């Protein structure tokens, strides 16, 4: 499938992407690192497309490895799980 960019999102997908970006910014500020160190936009877009609901599903998203799963996984899953379409 064609790769979507943030500008291609609308409606519910855009709302979820923005929520994930807000979380990423908050985690990055707390850790005093640039947001892309937490996850890049491409990873967030994959989360929107795949909507993982478990740790194992989140690990299937390109860019999410074991270390980032352990550090950030629960935060991102909470946003995805609690997101109301």
Whether 78 and 19 have beta carbons less than 8 Å apart is answered as no
pLDDT at 6: 76
Taking every pair of Cα atoms in the chain, the longest distance, rounded to a whole number of angstroms, is 35
Cα radius of gyration rounded to whole Å, the chain: 12
Query: Of all helices (H) and strands (E), which one includes residue 68?
Result: helix 66-82
pLDDT at 2: 46
- Domain at 6-82, CATH from 1.10.3720.10, 3.40.250.10, 1.10.150.80, 1.20.120.160: 1.10.150.80
Backbone φ and ψ of 63, nearest 5°? 105, -10
Domain boundaries, the chain: 6-82
pLDDT at 44: 96
pLDDT at 7: 78
pLDDT at 1: 43
pLDDT digits (tens), the chain, 85 positions: 446 677 788 889 999 999 999 999 999 999 999 999 999 999 999 999 999 999 999 999 999 999 999 999 999 999 999 997 7
- Token code pair at residue 18: 């923005």
């Amino acid at each position: 499938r064609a790769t979507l960019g943030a500008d291609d999102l609308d409606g519910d997908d855009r709302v979820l992407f923005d929520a994930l970006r807000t979380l990423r910014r908050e985690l990055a500020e707390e850790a005093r690192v640039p947001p892309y160190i937490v996850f890049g936009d491409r990873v967030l877009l994959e989360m929107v497309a795949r909507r993982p609901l478990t740790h194992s599903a989140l690990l299937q998203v390109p860019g999410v490895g074991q270390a980032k799963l352990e550090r950030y996984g629960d935060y991102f899953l909470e946003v995805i799980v609690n997101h109301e379409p």
